[in-house]
């Protein structure tokens, strides 16, 4: 019997032994109902559980799928990364090695094998550091001692220090090796061939200190060497600095072109080098400027001898593209310590001496003298004073009349500039005009002269011209014609009353431009005179170049009169020539009656000189003109 | 130790059962020893008016009278719903001490436990038997509170009072008329007493393991991010949903700390909040723990009860003097599931102990016993726990 049913019967059996059938029925029905509920519940829960587990399973499957995909992607990514890494490793210009904590090779790129010409049989993953070094030693590509190197390397790696060294290989290559320790106890080592880089660096360093054209020392190196030599100069010894400038180098450049000019500089550089000793320094400072440091001077004459030898070397003819050129050099010399012990002083003094030599003429050499310095100072002061003078009106014009030898009538007056210096008094033009030309003040100064002269001339008799000197620089200036027009317009002086005096040297330079300008002035009515005729080299050819209105015969010929036969001949010839060319002739510097008589006899039409009048101020000049009344009487 | 067994029913009133009662005629008369402890378990209805307590007090004026309302009483092989089952214990050499503490709210459970521990703590304390309000106490906290004072070496057993399948009110009496919001604890002292204990469920886990994603104390809000009540309602189906929270007992939850999967606990539902979609369990539901549904098979549940009895019988004295008492505290959930088959588990316990051990007990809202693996006293649910009380000879 079922245990439960037995229990149900027992529970429903009365004390009399009789079973309460109704009660038993209820229990049985309840048990069935309960069993049914339990079954339904079980069914339901099992169903739900299956559903849940199925859902969970699907979730897991999806998760597995997703993770598998992710893993595959990661794997592909890794593979690609690996490829990229490998490509980078094999294509890098540096050699790269990776060692593990056991000092065994993990990675090595092809570049390393190639760099040292190694065998891949030996150099492969797993090979020890020692084996690798020994293999390199065997191939002659490891200059150090293997044992020593291993000891040092281990010590550096243990300290965790990055260390690098530069290895010079026996074949001339330079390799820089850098070792980076890693946390694993291993290290990464890179090797880079820096041979080319070093060469380039050396080249750059060389260029910084050498002149590219001649390969001589440049100014930078020259100054360094000089400073060094000055610092090391032993007591009682001397050194010399020679500054050298080629004469007329500009004209070589202009006529033969820059390439030929460069060739010439190279040849000169070579000759200079050959002339000095090895312990001396030759440098090119700029353009045609060279400098030499002569050390260990033994005899006082050493430097002069060197300067002479240089002169001889430079003067030797040069063959440039079929043309034979002869050049020469001026040399300025400064001696240390006598002329200074500072680099800048010595260089400045040598330069000053060079100016002195140039001023003296071609092919000479000059030692620095303290007076040069003083002159230079004076000159600089003069420059400054000149600029100031124009601004504050320290210049004034004096006039010297030119008179017709036939009737003593004043035909024109030459304007002559004077500088009334507040301290030094009157300074002659010969002293300041060259400086004004050099510093470019001449154009302004010339304009002032022209305007002032025209303004003064307005007050003179109508038939009296004013003569104004123009410097070559003024004539070459493009604004010459407008300047003259403007001066005439401003003062109201008729162009026919202006006479421009130029010297031969004006025609020597930039001829076309100059002659055009002169023609334009002529067309305005201005007359043009040739001044100081006979002092230049090609006076006659000048007459051919431009139809001057007047020739002024230089005072040097007149001063020879009346005795010098040569002077007489020249004056007569010039006067004759002028007459034929329809030009007026003025004799300059006539001081005596005899001279006047003679020039009149020789055919000169005008005279200028102390005999008639010294140059005088404008107000004094007016007294020389006859009064209006007299003028009228004269003309009557 | 001597045991008198009594029962009360509406129809019969009080009646005595065992040979000793027959032998001694009356509990009072003739016997030199007086009764030390009276344990009684009964349905809430007959206990609520206090009459039965007064009658017991009159019968055993010197004894501590301790009992509670239940979800069915066990008396040997029988399970009854409307009766009151009583065991009156007289000890040869064991002292008894009773502690009684009010339990106003679940949050005070630990303090309540600590107070009990302080009252009962003594160097010769051999064991504590606890009966607690079944609806207003967090059993886990209560046990933890007691243990924090008396230490882990003292076995704490017992259970939470029941209220059938109604979950309305539970009563506990401790030398007083049974009432709610009360915890009673009996301490056993002396070298003679032997207290054995066993606890086992016999439930089968089923379905996926879930994670407790939101909880507070013993209120479970979410499993795997979804409301816990939704899961239960799905599993119960329409028919059983009406029976909530009682019907939720059909699917207890096995929970464990993922770090210690062997120390699993079974939790049963005390109440549901249909608005909040949460469920209140008889013990803590720590967030982050793993939870898995369980279901019962009659035979395996009965085998679980037998297992609990085996564990308890290991500790009882081999040749104990007089009678022995096995107090069975089994979960109301087991009874609801097994229905008429419930008797099977009670019989299984009886078969393990043999005729000398009187079995008295009740269906509870929570069982207290040391954990079978860890030995640490815990609140259990859905288990059969057995406390075996004997005295050693000499």
pLDDT for res A630: 52
Domain final residue, candidates B236, B265, B295: B295
pLDDT tens per residue, range A164-216: 889 888 888 999 999 999 888 899 999 999 999 889 989 998 999 999 899 99
A633 confidence band (pLDDT: 50, 70, 90): very low
- B133 and B49 assigned to the same domain: yes
The shortest C-alpha distance from B390 to chain A (Å) reads 30
Report d(CA B58, CA B37) in Å as an integer: 13
For A362, which DSSP code?
T
pLDDT 10s per residue in chain B (394 long)? 899 999 999 998 999 876 444 334 344 444 546 899 999 999 999 999 999 999 999 999 999 999 999 999 999 999 999 899 999 999 988 999 999 999 989 889 999 999 999 999 999 999 999 999 999 999 999 999 999 999 999 999 999 999 998 889 999 999 999 999 999 999 999 999 999 999 998 998 888 899 999 999 889 999 999 999 998 898 888 888 888 887 888 888 899 999 998 888 888 888 899 999 999 987 889 999 999 988 888 899 999 999 999 999 887 767 777 889 999 999 998 998 898 999 999 999 999 998 889 999 999 999 999 987 778 888 888 899 999 999 987 6
In the three-class reduction of DSSP (H, G, I as helix; E, B as strand; rest coil), residue B273 is classed as strand
Helix then strand then coil, in percent of chain B rounded to 5, is 25, 40, 35
Report d(CA A36, CA A41) in Å as an integer: 8
The shortest C-alpha distance from A153 to chain B (Å) reads 50
Could you give the count of Cα atoms lying within 13 Å of A71 in the half-sphere of its Cβ?
6
A40 at the B interface (CB within 8 A)? yes
pLDDT tens per residue, range A344-384: 999 999 998 998 888 777 678 888 888 887 888 888 888 88
Q: What are phi and psi of B261, to 5 degrees?
A: -65, -25
Q: Do B240 and A34 touch (CB under 8 A)?
A: no
Q: Could you tell me if A416 and A466 are in contact, meaning their C-beta atoms sit under 8 angstroms apart? A: no
- Report the first-to-last Cα separation within chain B, whole angstroms: 12
Question: Residue A53: which of B208, B235, B343 has the nearest Cβ?
Answer: B208
In the three-class reduction of DSSP (H, G, I as helix; E, B as strand; rest coil), residue A626 is classed as coil
pLDDT for res A627: 60
- B186 and B240 assigned to the same domain: no
Q: Under 8 Å CB-to-CB from A435, ≥6 apart: which residues?
A: A379, A382, A383, A386, A441
**Strands, DSSP E only, in B82-238?**
84-90, 95-102, 125-132, 156-160, 172-174, 182-189, 193-200, 204-205, 210-216, 219-223, 226-227
Whether omega before A562 lies within 30 degrees of 0, making that bond cis, reads: yes
pLDDT for res B32: 47
Q: Which residues of chain A are within 8 Å of residue B250 when distances are taken between CB atoms? A: 41
Whether omega before A223 lies within 30 degrees of 0, making that bond cis, reads: no
Q: At what angle do helices A21-91 and A3-12 cross, to 10 degrees?
A: 150
pLDDT tens per residue, range A403-422: 999 988 999 999 999 998 88
For A19, which DSSP code?
B
A7 at the B interface (CB within 8 A)? yes
A537 confidence band (pLDDT: 50, 70, 90): low
User: In CATH, what class is A210-368?
Assistant: alpha beta
Residues 146-185 on B with a CB inside 8 Å of A are none
Report d(CA A27, CA A11) in Å as an integer: 9
Q: Could you tell me if B217 and B210 are in contact, meaning their C-beta atoms sit under 8 angstroms apart? A: no
- B17 and B151 assigned to the same domain: yes
Question: Residue B240: which of A3, A41, A49 has the nearest Cβ?
Answer: A41
The shortest C-alpha distance from A84 to chain B (Å) reads 44
pLDDT for res A177: 93
B208 at the A interface (CB within 8 A)? yes
- DSSP string of A212-273? TTT-SB-HHHHHHHHHHHHHHPPTT--EEEEEEEEETHHHHHHHH-HHHHHHHHHHHHHHHH
User: Checking DSSP bridges between strand A281-286 and strand A289-294, what pairing results, if any?
Assistant: antiparallel
Query: Structure pTM?
Result: 0.49
- B329 and B360 assigned to the same domain: yes
CA distances from A363 to A246, A289, A611, B39, B163 (A): 9, 14, 43, 145, 138
Which whole number is the average pLDDT over A35-61? 88
The shortest C-alpha distance from B28 to chain A (Å) reads 30
Report d(CA A286, CA A265) in Å as an integer: 11
The shortest C-alpha distance from A135 to chain B (Å) reads 58
- B16 and B126 assigned to the same domain: yes
Q: Under 8 Å CB-to-CB from B51, ≥6 apart: which residues?
A: none
Which whole number is the average pLDDT over A65-76? 94
B337 at the A interface (CB within 8 A)? yes
Question: Number of helices and strands (H, E) in chain A?
Answer: 24, 22
Whether omega before A87 lies within 30 degrees of 0, making that bond cis, reads: no
Long-range contacts of the stretch A153-162 (C-beta < 8 A, 24+): A153/A129, A153/A179, A156/A181, A157/A181, A157/A185, A157/A187
Q: Do A40 and B340 touch (CB under 8 A)?
A: no
pLDDT for res B210: 93
Domain final residue, candidates B295, B310, B334: B295
ipTM over cut 0.90: no
Q: Which residues of chain A are within 8 Å of residue B234 when distances are taken between CB atoms? A: 48
- B164 and B246 assigned to the same domain: no
pLDDT at A452 over 90: yes
pLDDT for res B23: 37
CA distances from B151 to A559, B98, B128 (A): 148, 18, 12
Q: Could you tell me if A242 and A341 are in contact, meaning their C-beta atoms sit under 8 angstroms apart? A: no
The fold of A402-418+439-635 is TIM Barrel (3.20.20)
State which H helix or E strand residue B278 sits in. strand B278-281
Region of A6 (left: φ > 0; alpha: ψ -120 to 50; beta: rest) is alpha
Question: Residue A41: which of B234, B250, B344 has the nearest Cβ?
Answer: B250
CATH no., domain A95-198: 3.30.450.20
pLDDT at A71 over 70: yes
Q: Do A31 and B206 touch (CB under 8 A)?
A: no
Give B163's strand partners: B165
Q: Do B235 and A45 touch (CB under 8 A)?
A: yes
- DSSP string of A271-311? HHHHHS-TTSEEEEEETTEEEEEE-S--STTHHHHHHHHHH
**Which range has the top average pLDDT, A425-429, A462-466, B265-269?**
A462-466
Handedness of CA A473, A477, A482, A486 (dihedral sign): negative
Report d(CA B283, CA A187) in Å as an integer: 60
Which whole number is the average pLDDT over A302-321? 88
Report d(CA B202, CA B349) in Å as an integer: 13
- B262 and B351 assigned to the same domain: no
In the three-class reduction of DSSP (H, G, I as helix; E, B as strand; rest coil), residue A455 is classed as helix
- B176 and B155 assigned to the same domain: yes
Which whole number is the average pLDDT over A464-471? 93
- B71 and B19 assigned to the same domain: yes
Domain extent for B334? 2-200+299-391
pLDDT for res B20: 47
Q: Do B340 and A38 touch (CB under 8 A)?
A: no
pLDDT tens per residue, range A209-245: 999 899 999 999 999 999 998 888 877 788 999 999 9
Interface A:B, Cβ pairs < 8 A: 42
- B235 and B384 assigned to the same domain: no
- B77 and B149 assigned to the same domain: yes
In the three-class reduction of DSSP (H, G, I as helix; E, B as strand; rest coil), residue A87 is classed as helix
- B333 and B321 assigned to the same domain: yes
Q: Do B340 and A42 touch (CB under 8 A)?
A: no
pLDDT at A545 over 90: no
Residues 296-335 on A with a CB inside 8 Å of B are none
In the three-class reduction of DSSP (H, G, I as helix; E, B as strand; rest coil), residue B127 is classed as strand
Provide the domain count of chain B: 2
Q: What are phi and psi of B271, to 5 degrees?
A: -155, 160
Share of chain A above pLDDT 90, in %: 48
Which residue in chain B has the smallest CA separation from A49?
A: B207
pLDDT for res A415: 95
CA distances from B276 to B15, B107, B251 (A): 48, 20, 20
Q: Do A49 and B206 touch (CB under 8 A)?
A: yes
């Amino acid at each position: 019997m079922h245990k439960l049913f037995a229990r149900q019967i027992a529970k429903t059996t009365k004390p009399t032994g009789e079973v309460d059938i109704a009660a038993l029925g209820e229990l049985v029905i309840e048990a069935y109902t309960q069993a049914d509920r339990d079954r339904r519940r079980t069914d339901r829960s099992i169903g739900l559980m299956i559903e849940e587990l199925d859902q969970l399973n699907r979730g897991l499957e999806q998760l597995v799928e997703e993770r598998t995909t992710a893993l595959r992607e990661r794997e592909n990514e890794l593979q690609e990364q690996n490829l990229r890494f490998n490509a980078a490793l094999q294509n890098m210009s540096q050699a790269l090695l990776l060692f593990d904590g056991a000092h065994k090779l993990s990675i090595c790129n092809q570049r390393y094998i190639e760099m040292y010409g190694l065998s891949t049989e030996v150099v492969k993953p797993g090979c020890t550091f020692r084996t690798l070094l020994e293999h390199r030693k065997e191939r002659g590509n490891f200059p150090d001692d293997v044992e020593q190197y291993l000891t040092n390397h281990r010590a550096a790696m243990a300290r965790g220090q990055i260390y690098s060294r530069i290895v010079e290989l026996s074949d001339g290559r330079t390799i820089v090796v850098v070792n980076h320790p890693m946390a694993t106890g291993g290290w990464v080592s890179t090797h880079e061939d820096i041979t080319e880089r070093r060469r380039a660096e050396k080249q750059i360093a060389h260029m910084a200190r050498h002149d590219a054209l001649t390969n001589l020392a440049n100014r930078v190196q020259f100054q360094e060497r000089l400073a060094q030599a000055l610092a090391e100069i032993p007591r009682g010894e001397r050194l010399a600095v020679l500054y050298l400038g080629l004469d007329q180098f500009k004209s070589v450049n202009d006529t033969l072109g820059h390439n030929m000019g460069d060739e010439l500089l190279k040849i000169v550089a070579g000759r200079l080098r050959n002339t000095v000793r090895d312990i001396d320094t030759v440098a090119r400072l700029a353009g045609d400027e060279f400098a030499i440091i002569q050390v260990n001077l033994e005899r006082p004459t050493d430097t002069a001898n060197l300067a002479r030898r240089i002169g001889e070397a430079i003067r030797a003819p040069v063959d440039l593209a079929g043309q034979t050129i002869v050049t020469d050099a001026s040399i300025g010399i400064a001696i240390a310590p006598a002329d200074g012990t500072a680099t800048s002083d010595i260089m400045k003094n040598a330069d000053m001496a060079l100016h002195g030599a140039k001023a003296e003429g071609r092919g000479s050499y000059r030692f620095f003298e303290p007076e040069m310095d003083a002159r230079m100072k004076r000159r600089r002061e003069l420059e400054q004073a000149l600029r100031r003078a124009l601004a504050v009106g320290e210049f004034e014009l004096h006039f010297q009349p030119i008179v017709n030898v036939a009737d003593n009538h004043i035909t024109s007056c030459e304007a002559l500039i004077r500088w009334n210096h507040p301290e030094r008094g009157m300074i002659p033009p010969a002293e300041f005009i060259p400086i004004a030309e050099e510093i470019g003040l001449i154009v302004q100064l010339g304009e002032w002269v022209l305007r002032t002269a025209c303004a003064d001339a307005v007050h003179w008799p109508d038939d009296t011209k004013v003569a104004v000197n123009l410097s070559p620089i003024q004539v070459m200036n493009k604004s010459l014609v407008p300047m003259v027009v403007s001066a005439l317009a401003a003062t109201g002086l008729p162009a026919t009353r202006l006479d421009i005096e130029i010297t031969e040297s004006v025609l020597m330079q930039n001829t076309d431009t100059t002659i055009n300008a002169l023609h334009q002035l002529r067309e305005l009515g201005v007359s043009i005179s040739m001044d100081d005729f006979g002092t230049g080299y090609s006076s006659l050819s000048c007459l051919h170049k431009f139809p001057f209105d007047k020739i002024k015969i230089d005072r040097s010929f007149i001063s020879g009169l009346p005795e010098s036969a040569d002077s007489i001949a020249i004056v007569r010839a010039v006067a004759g020539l002028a007459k034929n060319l329809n030009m007026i002739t003025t004799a300059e510097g006539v001081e005596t009656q005899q001279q006047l008589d003679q020039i009149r006899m020789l055919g000169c039409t005008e005279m200028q000189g102390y005999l008639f009048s010294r140059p005088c101020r404008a107000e004094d000049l007016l007294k020389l003109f006859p009064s209006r009344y007299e003028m009228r009487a004269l003309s009557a | 130790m001597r045991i008198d067994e009594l029962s009360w029913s509406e129809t019969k009133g009080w009646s005595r059962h065992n040979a000793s009662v027959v032998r001694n005629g009356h509990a009072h008369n003739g016997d030199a020893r007086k009764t030390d402890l009276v344990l009684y378990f009964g349905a809430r209805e007959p206990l609520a008016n206090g009459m039965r307590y007064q009658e017991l007090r009159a019968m055993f004026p010197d004894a501590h009278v301790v009992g509670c309302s239940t979800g069915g009483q066990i008396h040997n092989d029988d399970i009854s719903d409307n009766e009151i089952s009583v065991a009156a214990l007289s000890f040869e050499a064991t002292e008894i001490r009773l502690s009684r503490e009010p339990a106003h709210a679940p949050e005070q459970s630990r303090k309540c436990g600590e107070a009990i521990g302080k009252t009962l703590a003594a160097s010769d304390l051999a064991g504590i038997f606890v009966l607690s309000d079944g609806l207003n106490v967090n059993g886990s906290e209560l046990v933890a509170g007691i243990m924090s004072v008396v230490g882990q070496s003292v076995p704490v057993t017992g259970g939470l009072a029941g209220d059938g399948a109604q979950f309305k009110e539970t009563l506990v009496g401790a030398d007083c008329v049974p009432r709610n919001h009360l915890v009673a604890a009996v301490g056993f002292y002396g070298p003679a007493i032997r207290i054995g204990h066993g606890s086992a469920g016999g439930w089968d886990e089923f379905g996926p393991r879930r994670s407790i994603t939101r909880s507070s104390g013993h209120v479970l809000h979410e499993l795997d991010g979804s409301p816990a009540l939704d899961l239960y309602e799905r599993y119960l189906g329409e028919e059983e949903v009406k029976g909530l929270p009682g019907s939720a007992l059909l699917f207890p939850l096995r929970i464990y700390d993922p770090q210690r999967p062997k120390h699993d606990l079974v939790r049963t539902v005390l109440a549901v909040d249909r608005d909040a979609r949460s469920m209140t369990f008889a013990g803590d539901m720590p967030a982050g723990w793993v939870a898995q549904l369980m279901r019962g098979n009659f035979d395996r549940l009965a085998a679980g009860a037998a297992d609990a009895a085996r564990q308890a019988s290991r500790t009882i004295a081999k040749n104990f003097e007089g009678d022995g008492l096995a107090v069975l505290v089994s979960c109301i959930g087991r009874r609801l599931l097994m229905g008429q088959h419930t008797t099977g588990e009670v019989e299984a316990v009886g078969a393990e102990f043999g005729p000398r051990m009187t079995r008295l007990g009740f269906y509870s809202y929570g069982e207290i016993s040391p954990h079978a693996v860890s030995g640490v006293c815990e609140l259990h649910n859905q288990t059969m726990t057995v406390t075996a009380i004997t005295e050693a000879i000499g």
